[in-house]
Structure 1
Amino acid sequence: MSPKIVTVQGAVGNQGNSVALSLLASKTSEFKVRAITRSPDSERAKALEALGAEVVRANSKVKEELVAAFTGSWAAFVNTNTDDPEIGVPGAPTELDIGKIAVDAAAEAGVKVFVYSGMESVEKMTGGKMSSKNFEEKYGVAEYAKTKGFESVINLSPGMYMENFLVSELAPVFGGFPVAPDEEGILNYVHPRWGGNEEQPMIGIEADYGDLVHGILLNPAKYNNRLVQAISESRSAEDTAKDFQEVTGKKARYVVLENVDDFPTFGMRALETVREIYQFCQIDGGLYYGVPNDVDTAAELKAAAAKAQGKEGEDAKLMTMKKFFKAHFPS
């Protein structure tokens, strides 16, 4: 039997690259990876090609190019980039517009399985008390896909990126954590209360996100029409600070920012969305997905992907904050 073609839109981005690498690591020869990018000459694209991926140039804003790229594919993974400066501004298409272009192109090309990196609706989760443009548009793309005749549509919704701790420019937003200690030598992890049991859904994009997509593609019918929580670990900010201190030996603590409106955004769209997350989670009891965090499904998907890759032991388990900090912030 010929391998099934899985086309990854945005294959040189963090999520798409994780998906492509996970599928390319399979020992079963069940899938063939087609990587869509606007930059086929980039280092990441060339690295994927060296591992066996077919690299195709296509622009996410041009439906005809996407139809050609998706043609012959059994499945598609799509992630629209909220932070793309060319979308969501006056005179430009919205993220919902871009998502619908991908959905329509995949449907026209005959794709059977559509996996989208989406979100739940904040309006729905808060009973109409607030909204979030980012969340509503990503939710809208996933819901639109359900109307286009795919055999399976899965909304794989990522939690808060562990990798954000590696972005030094973000440290001042969170009180300097995890790189800039205060005058007492303590690293203060500063942000608003989350709400509920205070446990945030954390995802290791590089380590786990691609494996979760891989696991879904091994049995897509099981997850059809579902929002699947892409979570590596459910962890409170207080425990995250403790994890960092335990792993690195550096003093760290969680400091509550009492007024969510004081969370600094510096006028950046991405940080404004983060502030909205704190706001709606405080309203709906800390439920980022509108329901309790579900690590069990993610663990099930990770194990399925690991089996296909011939991995076992710790390599078959989800990332934790302790493992992440140990890998990136050695003592």
Structure 2
Amino acid sequence: MASSPKLVTVFGATGNQGGSVAQSLLRNKSTFRVRAITRNPESEKALALAAAGAEVVKADGFKKDELVKAFEGSWAVFVNTNTDDPIFDEPNGPTEVDLGRIIVDAANTVGVEQFVYSSAGSVSEITKGEMKLDMMDHKYAIEQLARSSPNIKTVTAVYAAWYFENFAVPFLSELWGGFPFQADSEEYLTLCLPRPGGEDKVPYIAIEEDFGDLVHGVLLNPEKYGGKEIQATSQLLTYPEIIEAFQKVTGKKARYVLLSDWKDFPTMGVRSLENIKLMLGFMQWCEGRYYRNLEFDEQTAKDLKKSVEDSVGSSGSLVTADQFFAKIFGAGNN
């Protein structure tokens, strides 16, 4: 007799990461049921998840009683806390760790078996205080809170790479020289960023198409991947290789120009952009090792992606830069 599908609850299900996880799990309804937590069940994204078969519930991450109710009956939860939430900009307001503590307490109260968290390494700890980056330090602190919770059986950390999707945001393109939207005075679409460090490889993730599948793969085989640190990477590329992939697909003139000092990355005083600048500096400090100062691991992501495709009876592999740029900027998309 076939076992009943396991309930996986997704916190932040209408965000980029949570939405990808929910949509991926919904491909495998014989194995998983999906409960999607959102502050606004009437939003377009929430309604789309409901139409796809998810149970959509309303809950506020700062209200433990609402989260306990939302987590009840869950075999697993996936959590991503949004560093860029405006609430964290409020003077004397809560921090991301405050939010994470409430979420973890709720999961611990329920006794969740599998807790999968979108985490990061502690920059302060890795650099021995030379650098500080709240975006990463806070996520690491939340991960440790989960790992020290007695009623949560297994905590798995998933580290998201740089988003391919960032190249499709016109506002961000202005910060790195205009690529891939605005040509410079010499009619080049110019990508201007500092060296990543080390071998100059940068990990990228196709959030929509790959991130959710990697979390899905962890939950398919928790005996193997549970409790581990998963590098969510679709492809490792240098900046010149990014330019090459874009030119190959679009035929447009593009180039990479070195920004000599990461401290010169423009931020306009915006906290999220300050985080990007500090991340660029951290990568140079650890010689390009983006993931908690660890060596890159491409194979695990490939294995996880394949396990999902095998489970749902489909075929597919991790998204490449060629495929991403073709989808967004290829013929008929300009």
Give the AA of the match of 1:295: E
User: Equivalent residue of 2:109, what SS?
Assistant: helix
Change in Cα spacing, 1:172 to 1:125, as seen in structure 2 (3 Å) is same
2:75 equivalent to 1:62: no
Residue in 2 that maps onto 1:95? 96
Distance 2:127 2:322 in 1: 32
Distance 1:30 1:259 in 2: 49
Distance 2:239 2:39 in 1: 37
Between the aligned residues of both structures, percent identity stands at 48
Give the AA of the match of 1:307: D
Q: CA deviation at 1:310?
A: 1.4
2:185 equivalent to 1:187: no
Change in Cα spacing, 1:138 to 1:88, as seen in structure 2 (3 Å) is farther
User: Equivalent residue of 1:55, what SS?
Assistant: strand
Counterpart mapping for 1:1-331 below 5 A: 1-26=3-28, 29-87=30-88, 89-149=90-150, 150-289=152-291, 290-312=293-315, 315=316, 317-331=317-331
Distance 1:200 1:125 in 2: 19
Q: CA deviation at 1:64?
A: 0.7
Distance 1:16 1:283 in 2: 30
| 1:217-266 superposed Cα distances (whole Å, 9 cap, x missing partner) | 01123223322111100111111011111111001111110011110011
Question: Is the CA contact (8 Å cut-off) linking 2:83 and 2:135 kept in structure 1?
Answer: yes
Question: TM-score of the superposition, structure 1-length normalised?
Answer: 0.96
Give the AA of the match of 1:135: M
Question: Unaligned regions of 5+ residues in structure 1, if any?
Answer: none
Distance 1:246 1:30 in 2: 40
Distance 2:89 2:234 in 1: 30
Q: CA deviation at 1:178?
A: 0.3
Question: Unaligned regions of 5+ residues in structure 2, if any?
Answer: none
User: Equivalent residue of 2:85, what SS?
Assistant: coil
User: Equivalent residue of 1:86, what SS?
Assistant: helix
Give the AA of the match of 2:268: F
| 1:145-183 superposed Cα distances (whole Å, 9 cap, x missing partner) | 001132210110101011001111111101001000112
Q: CA deviation at 1:127?
A: 3.7
User: Equivalent residue of 2:86, what SS?
Assistant: coil
Distance 2:53 2:227 in 1: 31
Give the AA of the match of 2:15: G
Q: CA deviation at 1:126?
A: 2.5
Question: Is the CA contact (8 Å cut-off) linking 1:157 and 1:230 kept in structure 2?
Answer: yes
Distance 1:125 1:159 in 2: 18
Q: CA deviation at 1:88?
A: 5.0
Distance 2:131 2:94 in 1: 23
Q: CA deviation at 1:328?
A: 0.5
Give the AA of the match of 1:193: R
Question: Is the CA contact (8 Å cut-off) linking 2:111 and 2:153 kept in structure 1?
Answer: no
Distance 2:224 2:142 in 1: 21
User: Equivalent residue of 1:93, what SS?
Assistant: coil
Give the AA of the match of 1:120: G
User: Equivalent residue of 2:104, what SS?
Assistant: helix
Displacement over 4 Å in runs of 4+ = none
| 1:123-144 superposed Cα distances (whole Å, 9 cap, x missing partner) | 2332432121111000111111
